[in-house]
Amino acid sequence: MVNKKRILVVCGTAIATSTVVAKKVEELLSKRGIAVETRQCKAAEIRSNLNGVDLIVATTPIPKDINVPSVRGLAFLTGVGEDDAVKEILQKLGMEQ
Amino acid sequence: MSINDIVNALGVTVLLPIVIFVLALFFRIPAQRAFRSAVVIGIGFIGINLILGFFLNNLAPAAEKMVEAAGVNLPILDVGWPAAAAIAFAGRIGLFIIPVVVLVNVIMYVLRLTDTVNVDVWNYWHFAFTGGLVHAMTGNVWLGITVAALNAMIVLVLGDWTAPAVQQYYKLPGISLPHGFSAAAVPIAIPINWALDKMHLDRIQADPEAISKKWGFLGDPVIIGLILGFVVGILGNLQTLNTANAWFNVLKLGVAMAGVMYIFPKMVAILMDGLIPISEGVRDFMKTRASQRKFYIGLDSAIAVGDPAAIASAMILVPIAIVLMILIPQNRILLAVDLAVLPFMVVMTIPITRGNILKTVIIGTIIIAVGLMVGTHMAPLFTEAARAAQFEMPSGATMISSICDGSNLLTWVMVQLMRLSWFGALVLFLIGLGLAYLFRRNRKTWERAAGALEEAEEAE
């Protein structure tokens, strides 16, 4: 087993929407047999939480100068386009199936 | 044993899980998943109650000492949104809130009174909160449920009204933000913004990215809690600051408050976790019923508060709020937990001011100043609602409130009207209906007032 990929889930509070998105991402990826580690933070705290992070999934705007790949997490809240969002996550993690 | 006795004996940690479990089955959640999430919701309440007790036990004596030592009399403690949400869901109205709001939303959609499908089940608590205050005031559950439904109705219209502006400014296609707290600022922000434009303040621009990059740490809840604890501690020990013991107390209070700021929301996250399956059930239920025409998906305004302008404005508002707290003579609220969520207050003002920090801060200052008075006035009801939901409140003069929902002007107006009982409910219903009707007749004009661009501008 390779190292688990680390995903930082970002929203405005680090509580409300990011909890939903983090659980959803874990669930959808584990269905595809991929275990990931998620961590949640607020948009304002991104910079101090980037250590070891492979990907950011954000439900809220994030600063433009962050150099970790990021995916918009809105689909996991609306339920529209979840599959595409999962594909984008896999692609940006370099784990295309 | 009456039903009331059973309800009181079981308490929220058992009762709400049972209600949520039954509801989850209704919304076609598999039993096993429904069961686990229902239990997790009970656990969330246990966590919130623990931290609330810790918070009150630390801050209440410190606030009392502040009166003696410094003459600063702020006996109403700001327990913040985590406690407000828990009180709302744990109260009698909270048990009914999910089906009530879903019903209001579906009816309004079918009657073409709203275009929003509010799938943000978590934030139904704002409506349950208003209901809880009215229940505490009147002792009548039906009045409480009615006002919660009316609150949901009015906020749905506010969500429609602001949707194009929010979609354009935050680049959130198809989304609206029918959020009980954030949206309530819109009717206040629009006229003030208009007046500020007349004064040409829209010409003064500050760079939000630069501000939030440089001062961002001041918006960190841990730092806010630490500073707050120090300030309250120093004021409470003003006469004994030459002793080492006084400083030990100051430092301990600082770390205790930082701890509350850090841990409290994490307890709410447990509650959120438990609500996920039912949220998804409600979402699918409503989406399949809203197939006849296009709709906005109503989400939590948390998806926009990461905006640099929101973060920067809220950060500037933290010290302003603390100064207002001391300067406004009518105020009795000691600001604490909700200082960390001021971005929610300004997030829907920002499309109106088009991201102008100065205008947003002025509008936010006015909302906080009014809010402190409103919150002071509503604190007895807030405290009573907390007691009714079986949260342990300190004895003596201490009361609780919060600068977000406890000081929400829309909530206050609704509660005041409900003093007229059913007649007040009728007035609110007509206000909601009138708002929906006027908005739909003058749609483009209203949407532009909320910050939407002209189509020509948009195309650029």
Write the ipTM: 0.83
The answer to whether A20 contacts chain B (CB < 8 Å) is yes
Evaluate if residue B305 carries a pLDDT over 90: no
- Is residue B459 included in any domain, yes or no? no
The answer to whether B70 contacts chain A (CB < 8 Å) is no
Q: Tell me, what's the pLDDT at B322?
A: 92
**For B450-460, what is the mean pLDDT?**
67
When pLDDT is cut at 50, 70 and 90, the band that residue B2 belongs to is: confident
Q: Tell me, what's the pLDDT at B229?
A: 94
- Each residue's pLDDT tens digit, B22-36: 999 999 899 999 999
**Residues in chain A closer than 8 A to B171 (CB atoms):** 61
**For A12-22, what is the mean pLDDT?**
84
- Is residue B251 included in any domain, yes or no? yes
Q: Is A11 known to be catalytic?
A: yes
Q: Tell me, what's the pLDDT at A13?
A: 75
Q: Tell me, what's the pLDDT at B184?
A: 95
**For B279-308, what is the mean pLDDT?**
88
**Residues in chain B closer than 8 A to A59 (CB atoms):** 302-303, 306
HEC readout, chain B? CCHHHHHHHHCHHHHHHHHHHHHHHHCCCCHHHHHHHHHHHHHHHHHHHHHHHHHHHHHHHHHHHHHHHHCCCCCEEECHHHHHHHHHHHCCHHHCHHHHHHHHHHHHHHCCCCCEEECCHHHHHHHHHHHHHHHHHHCCHHHHHHHHHHHHHHHHHHHHHHHHHHHHHHCCCCEECCCCCCHHHHHHHHHHHHHHHHCCHHHCCCCHHHHHHHHHHHHCHHHHHHHHHHHHHHHHCHHHCCCHHHHHHHHHHHHHHHHHHHHHHHHHHHHHHHHHHHHHHHHHHHHHHCCCCCCEEECCHHHCCCCHHHHHHHHHHHHHHHHHHHHCCCCCEECCHHHHHHHHHHCCCHHHHCCCHHHHHHHHHHHHHHHHHHHHHHHHHHHHHHHHCCCCCCCCCCEEECCCHHHCHHHHHHHHHHHHCHHHHHHHHHHHHHHHHHHHHCHHHHHHHCCCCCHHHHHC
Q: Tell me, what's the pLDDT at A45?
A: 80
Q: Tell me, what's the pLDDT at B327?
A: 93
**Residues in chain B closer than 8 A to A23 (CB atoms):** 273, 276
**Under 8 Å between Cβ of B389 and B12:** yes
The overall average pLDDT reported for chain B is: 91
- Each residue's pLDDT tens digit, B310-365: 888 998 999 999 999 999 999 999 999 999 889 899 999 999 999 999 999 999 99
Q: Tell me, what's the pLDDT at B460?
A: 40
Quick one: what percent of chain B has pLDDT higher than 90?
71
Evaluate if residue B383 carries a pLDDT over 70: yes
**For B297-310, what is the mean pLDDT?**
89
**Under 8 Å between Cβ of B333 and B211:** no
- Is residue B429 included in any domain, yes or no? yes
Preferred mutation among A11, A17, A28 to probe B, highest tally of B CBs within 10 A: A17
CATH architecture of A1-63: 3-Layer(aba) Sandwich (3.40)
Overall domain count for chain B: 1
- Is residue B457 included in any domain, yes or no? no
- Each residue's pLDDT tens digit, B38-56: 999 999 999 999 999 999 9
Q: Tell me, what's the pLDDT at B457?
A: 55
Is A13 close to B305, i.e. CB distance below 8 A? yes
When pLDDT is cut at 50, 70 and 90, the band that residue B236 belongs to is: very high
When pLDDT is cut at 50, 70 and 90, the band that residue B126 belongs to is: very high
The amino acid occupying position A81 is G
- Is residue B87 included in any domain, yes or no? yes
Q: Tell me, what's the pLDDT at A2?
A: 60
Higher pLDDT, B293 or B401: B401
**Residues in chain A closer than 8 A to B301 (CB atoms):** 12
Evaluate if residue B459 carries a pLDDT over 50: no
Is B305 close to A16, i.e. CB distance below 8 A? no
**For A40-60, what is the mean pLDDT?**
87
The answer to whether A49 contacts chain B (CB < 8 Å) is no
Evaluate if residue B427 carries a pLDDT over 80: yes
Q: Tell me, what's the pLDDT at B390?
A: 84
Kindly report which listed range (A36-50, B95-109, B143-157, B204-218) carries the lowest average pLDDT score: B204-218
The answer to whether B182 contacts chain A (CB < 8 Å) is no
